[in-house]
Amino acid sequence: MYHGDHQLSGYLVHIVDVTEETLAQDEIKNQKLFLDRLLETIPIPVFYNDTRGRYIGCNQAFEHYIGFTKEQIVGKTVYDIAPQELADTYYAKDKELLDAPKTQTYESQVWYADGTMHNVIFYKATLLDQNGNIQGLIGMILDITERKQAEEVIRQKEEYIRTVLDNLPIGVAVNSVSPTVAFSYHNANFLKFYRIPEKALKEPDVIWDYIYEDPEYRKNIRERVISDCASGDPSRMHWDDIPIIREGEETTYISAMNIPIPLSTLMISTVWDVTARKKAEDELKQANRLLEGMLNGIPDIIGIQNPDHTIIRYNQAGYDALGLSPEEVAGRPCYSFIGRTRPCEICATSKALQSKKQEMVEKYVPELKRYLICRSNPNLDDDGNVQLIVEQLTDITDRKQIEEAIGQSNQKLRLLTGLTRHDILNILTAIYFYHELALENSDPNTIHEYITRAQEAGKRIEATIGFTREYEEFGIVSSGWQELYSIIESAKREINVGAIRIENQISTSLLVYADPIIRKVFSTLIENAIRHGKKITYIRFSVAHKDNDLIIICEDNGVGIPLNDKAHIFGRGFGNHTGIGLFLAREILSITNLSIREVGEEGKGARFEILVPDGKWRE
C-alpha cells in the first residue's frame, strides 16, 4: 500500500484456501489410477475411442488379444489394426452408436493375435463429459469362440440325432404326459404306426381321439397310460400288442414304451409296429394247435428228449401212459419212469445218438409188461450235432400176443386135427374088425357082443366129431384180455351141477390174456369134478400170487386123484370117458403160455392150479 507521497506504507495480502481443490484433484488422480489399475487387471479386452474413431486407450488384455502394444494402438483407427472387411463393420457400428448415443451389443469377429479368427460379442457405450457432450466410446470384447464351437457341435449333434430319429424304423416323439399330452418333436413313423394325421399332435390331448376310435376303450387306455407314467416304474411304461382299429380297415397292432427324460417333465415316447409279428404268432399258435392236435391224436407215445435222455415233452398218449402231468415229466430222464437209473441196454435213442440217423428196436419192457417198437429220429444242427431226439413208442403187446397165439393155435390145430384123424381111423379099424368077426360068427350072443362093441366105438367117433364141431373156431378167434370171473360164470351155466355148490371167489376186475375158448377149460374142470369126485359137495375157484405170477385155483372136496394117476391125467386118452377133456384143457391154456397141474391130496379132493405168468394178467 502507498501513501499520498507514493511511499510504501504496507502490503495487502489475499489468501485463498485451495486445500479442498487440491484434495479433490488428488482424489480424481487416485480414482483414475484405481480405474486404470482395475482395467489392467480385467481379463476382458477393453478399449477407448474418440469421436473420430482413434484409439485413445486400452488395457493389457486388449493388447494381448489383437497382438499390438498400446503404443502401436493409441492414435490408430480400426483400419490400422483390422482387416478391411472387419474394419468396415466396426466403423459402421461405431458411427451408429455415436449418432445415437446408447449402449450397443453385437456379434462379430476379431483377427486374433495368433492369426486365427475368433467369434466375439462387442459391448459398447458412449463416453460423455459433465455437460453431456460425447467425448468418444468405450468397448469390451467377449470371446465366444469356444461357445460358438460348442454350439456348433451341439447343433451338429442335434442334427445328427434328428436325422437318426427321423430315419429310425420305429416311431419316436418327445412329449409331456401330465397334465396334458403335448408334443415338441415326432418323426414320421410315429404318425404312421399310430395311423394319425399331423394335426393330431398340434393341440394338447387330442391325440387320444385320433388313435382310439372306441370311446370306452379310449377312456380305459388313457387312464392306464397316465397312471403307468405317473408311477415312474419303467416296467409299467411298456405296453404290448395294442390294437389300432379303423372301421372298414385291417386292424394293426403296436407296442409302445415311454422313457422319462431326467430333470424334465418330458418323455421320449416310442412306438413300433408288431402287426407282422402278431400275425406270425397267431399263425404259429394255430400251427402249434394243429400240430398239438395231430400229436395228441396219435395213439403211439411221442416223446421229445435231449441228447442226455431227459424229456422235454410227450404227447397226450405219453402223459396218459405215465399218469403224470407235463410239469412232472419235464427234465427227467426217460428211463427213470420205469424205475431205472441208466438207459436201457437196448435203446433206440442211444443208437441214434451214435449213428445220427433214425434207429428202431423192438423189445419187451418187463417193468411195463409190454412189448414196444421204439423209433428214435435225431434232429441235427448245422454242424451235424444232435440237438434233439424224437422218439416214437408203439405198443405191440396185443399184436405180439396175437401173433404168438395164432402161431400156437395153428400148431395146436395141426396137432389136434392129426390126432383126431388118427383116432377116427383107429376106431374105424376096430369097427371093421368087429364087423368081420360078427360076419364070421354064427353065435347070436357073440355077434351081439361084437355089434355092441362096434356101437361103442361109433360113439367114440361121435364124441370125437362132437369135439371137433365145438372146436371149429379154435385158433381163429384172436386171444385177448378175458374177464376171469365172467368166464367161470359162463362155464358154470354149461354144466348141470345139481346140488353141488360152485364158489367163484375171483375179482371182477381180474383179466387174463387167453384164447376165448378158455371157458372150455373151466367147464371141463367142473364136469370132471362132478363125474369123478363121487362125494363132492362144492367146487371153489380162487386165486393166489407167487412172485409176479398169478395162480388160478380150482379145488373140490371130492375123493381126489390117485397119486399114480397124477402124471397121466393130462395125457390124451386117459380116463374112463373120451380121454380128451384135460388134455384139451392143457392145450388151450398153452396157446398163451399158461400151464396147469394137479396138486390135490387123494381122499381130500382135487386141486388144479393154472399158472398165469407175469404180463399175461392184470387188474
* pLDDT tens digits, 443-457: 888 888 888 888 887
pLDDT in tens, 466-520: 656 655 555 555 678 999 999 999 888 877 788 899 999 999 999 999 877 788 8
CATH number of 397-473: 1.10.287
Banded pLDDT at 28 (limits 50, 70, 90): low
Run of H or E including 555? strand 549-556
pLDDT in tens, 184-205: 999 999 999 999 999 999 998 9
Of the candidate ranges 20-24, 49-53, 541-545, 609-613, the one whose mean pLDDT is the lowest = 20-24
pLDDT in tens, 127-161: 988 888 999 999 999 999 999 999 999 999 989 98
C-alpha grid cell for residue 89? 463393420
Instruction: Mention the CATH class of domain 168-278.
Output: alpha beta
Comparing CA positions, the residue from 342, 70, 422 lying closest to residue 350 is 342
Among the CATH numbers 3.40.50.170, 3.90.1150.10, 3.90.180.10, 3.30.450.20, which is that of 298-395? 3.30.450.20
Contacts of the segment 482-488: beta carbons below 8 A, 24+ positions apart? 482/511, 482/512, 482/513, 482/514, 482/516, 482/518, 483/508, 483/510, 483/511, 484/510, 484/511, 484/512, 484/552, 485/510, 487/518, 487/519, 487/522, 488/522, 488/541
Mean pLDDT of 579-585: 72
Structure confidence at residue 579 (pLDDT): 44
Three-state helix/strand/coil letters over 500-542: CEEEECCCCCCEEEECCCHHHHHHHHHHHHHHHCCCCCEEEEE
Record the pTM.
0.47
Mean pLDDT of 16-33: 61
Same fold, 19-147 and 168-278: yes
Quick count: other Cβ atoms within 10 Å of Cβ 174? 16
Q: Tell me: pLDDT of 93 over 80.
A: yes
Mean pLDDT of 535-542: 93
Q: Tell me: pLDDT of 527 over 70.
A: yes
Topology classification of domain 19-147: Beta-Lactamase (3.30.450)
Comparing CA positions, the residue from 286, 281, 208 lying closest to residue 241 is 281
Structure confidence at residue 401 (pLDDT): 75
Structure confidence at residue 591 (pLDDT): 77
CATH number of 479-619: 3.30.565.10
Banded pLDDT at 78 (limits 50, 70, 90): very high
Mean pLDDT of 42-66: 93
Between the two ends of the chain, the Cα-to-Cα distance in Å is: 166
What residues does each domain of the chain span? 19-147, 168-278, 298-395, 397-473, 479-619
Query: CA-CA-CA-CA torsion for 200, 204, 206, 208, nearest 10 degrees?
Result: 100
Structure confidence at residue 339 (pLDDT): 87
